[in-house]
Amino acid sequence: MSEGTLNFGKIYTNLDDYKASEAPEKSGSLAVVKFKVLAEGQTSLSFEDTATMPNAISGTMLFDWNGIKLVSGYKVVQPEKIIIEKSEVVVTPVPTSTAIVTTPTPTAIVVTPTPTAVVTTPTPTAIVTTPTPTAVVTTPTPTTIVTSPTPSDKPTATPTPALSSYITIEFDKTNAEVGEIVKAAVKVNKIMNFAGYQINLKFDPDVLQPIKPSGSAYSNSTIPSSGTLIANSEFSPINAVSHNLSKGIMNFAKMYTMLEYYRMSDMTEETGTIAVIEFKVLKDVETFVKFENSSTMPNGKDGTMLFNADGDRILSGYSVIQPAKIN
């Protein structure tokens, strides 16, 4: 903000269902931003390239429902200048247009989402829903979550995986005292061509408090720490978040947006950590963290939605393993 830069993105993550709907979107508003006038004079807003979008078209990157970046076929029209005199705002039309640059090479994008009530699909409605990506996005971007299962519901002990492909949570310890930190790593195993996810977690807010690595408490828009997967900036990952911490709900999503380049690369991912969350212990009582569906993910698989490199949701072939209890 101090340099006068706004950078934001949003994308549908459940592309398979979007295409099947036969209702493609073509025209309309992508976002609305309000500005407060601070001084008299002439000023402007403009689309502009940045170091984090080196192959953009005049500060824009658009994607189709195959997850492919559009490199031609549209132009960027810069908005009118704004003349500010006294307390009035007079808009003088001075339209300009920019040349179209064809640059199909992979680009890097850094999306710094501001706190929003999100889903996606992941919609990911997150993050987003790329998401945000709902959210994140099924869910284009994560949306506000209203479900509040009772904290007394506890997952069973970790079962033996029914499938070699699975998603689970691993704790750095399952015995802790009040004031200690328990680190939870959300992991996937052998999810072929893995490209994104949306997760809904349930915990007891009277017993556990999610905190940032700095030690400060999470807000409802805090993005969990990244893991080893969906972290390659070459494929432009985008986050979407919509927690309801007072009800013990964490909902977050992350997905690659440069799916075409991801598919073409030899760097597709399948096994590793997708997010890391630290919990501070508040009470000396047995508790849990578990995957659980929510009203914004009614078709989730036990609180999970995984996506492949085609942008399609993975509906089968993996199991959801609930983690062990925390003593």
Query: pLDDT tens for residues 157-203?
Result: 444 444 699 999 999 999 999 999 999 999 999 999 999 999 999 99
Q: What is the pLDDT of residue 14?
A: 74
Model confidence band, residue 54 (pLDDT cutoffs 50, 70, 90): low
pLDDT of 203 reads: 97
**In a 3-state reduction of DSSP, which class is residue 273?**
strand
Structure tokens at 239: 């986050």
Residue 237's pLDDT is 92
- Give the pLDDT of residue 90: 56
Q: 290 CB contacts (<8 Å, ≥6 apart)?
A: 153, 154, 155, 169, 201, 202, 203, 303, 322, 323
Which residues lie closer than 8 Å to 300 by C-beta, 6 or more apart? 198, 200, 293, 294
Residue listed under structure tokens 């824009």: 60
Cβ neighbour number for residue 101 with a 10 Å cutoff: 13
pLDDT bracket for residue 230 (50, 70, 90) = very high
Distance, CA of 18 to chain centre: 18
Q: Give just the sign of the alpha carbon dihedral 183, 189, 195, 200.
A: negative
Comparing 146 with 228, which gets the higher pLDDT? 228
Mean pLDDT, to the nearest integer, of 210-225? 96
The Cα 144–Cα 241 span in angstroms is 9
Quick one: what percent of the chain has pLDDT higher than 90? Answer: 57
Please choose, from the candidates 127, 266, 104, the residue with its C-alpha nearest in 3D space to the C-alpha of residue 193. 266
Is it the case that residue 236 has pLDDT exceeding 80?
yes
- Note the pLDDT of residue 112: 43
Q: What is the pLDDT of residue 92?
A: 59
* Domain architecture of the chain: domains with CATH: 25-64+70-103 (no CATH), 104-327 (2.60.40.680)
Angle at 244 between CA 256 and CA 301, to 5 degrees: 55
**How many Å apart are CA 225 and CA 312, to the nearest integer?**
25
Tell whether the model's pLDDT for residue 128 goes beyond 60. no
Which of the pair, 55 or 12, is modelled with greater confidence? 12
Q: CA-CA distance, 241 to 232, in Å (whole number)? A: 19
pLDDT tens figures, 266-288:
899 999 999 999 999 999 999 99
Given pLDDT bands bounded at 50, 70 and 90, which one contains residue 117?
very low
Residue 15, φ and ψ in degrees, nearest 5: -65, -30
Higher pLDDT among residues 105 and 292, named by residue: 292
Q: What is the mean pLDDT of residues 45-49?
A: 93
Where on the phi/psi map is residue 41: left (φ > 0), alpha (ψ -120 to 50), or beta?
A: left
Cα angle for residues 96, 109, 107 (degrees, 5° grid): 85
What's the confidence (pLDDT) of residue 94? 55
With vertex at residue 182, the alpha carbon angle to CA 246 and CA 172, rounded to the nearest 5 degrees, is 140
Average pLDDT, the chain: 81
pLDDT at 315 over 80: yes
Q: Evaluate if residue 124 carries a pLDDT over 90.
A: no
- pLDDT at position 284 is 95
Average pLDDT over residues 236-251: 94
Q: How confident is the model at residue 144 (pLDDT cuts 50, 70, 90)?
A: very low
DSSP-assigned beta bridge partners for residue 189 = 166
pLDDT at position 226, please? 95
Spatial separation of the C-alpha atoms in residues 136 and 213, rounded to whole Å: 23
pLDDT at 202: 97
Between 212 and 100, the more confident residue is 212
